[in-house]
Amino acid sequence: MLEPGDAAPPISLTDHRGDTVTVDPTDARYTVVYFYPRADTPGCTTEACGFRDEWDVFADADIAVVGVSDDPVADLASFADDYDLPFTLLSDPDGEVARAYDSYGEKNMFGNTFDGVFRNTYVLDSDGTVVLAYEGVDPEEHAVEIVEDVEALDG
């Protein structure tokens, strides 16, 4: 798990529109990079909709949001459309970026072992430094938690 003070690894992936996107932390005061296991599943939908529902708060505070999973672009496009998500979703099919963020690896579910994305979130400052890190987050109130924690950072 990356820790506050660590330099954030670069991110350049295909987004839900099919465009290559390079995340540039200087584009916002803070950038939320959240990793989620699978689009359109209950927990991931709850988490994404939490960010959507708090979108005005994030935008007013100059906080960018980017979601990353190993889903294919077509699945991300449907997910973004179905739930009217106003932020960028990135496809990391090989888990390369998620690995760089210690958010990809062996998982166990229903007796099966497989590689997948862990539900972790990082908040980066405009210099590209990790300022907040969340491991194995609860998707229910996560967006609100981030807003409160960023406000606390700013004093």
The catalytic residue positions are: 44
- CA distances to 15, 16, 51, 135, 140 from 72, in Å: 10, 9, 21, 24, 24
Distance separating alpha carbons of residues 3 and 77, to the nearest angstrom: 31
Distance separating alpha carbons of residues 7 and 130, to the nearest angstrom: 6
Distance separating alpha carbons of residues 139 and 124, to the nearest angstrom: 19
Residue that is written with structure tokens 């862990």 in the block? 118
Distance separating alpha carbons of residues 113 and 116, to the nearest angstrom: 10
Distance separating alpha carbons of residues 118 and 109, to the nearest angstrom: 13
7: amino acid identity, one letter: A
The answer to whether the CB of 120 falls within 8 A of the CB of 83 is no
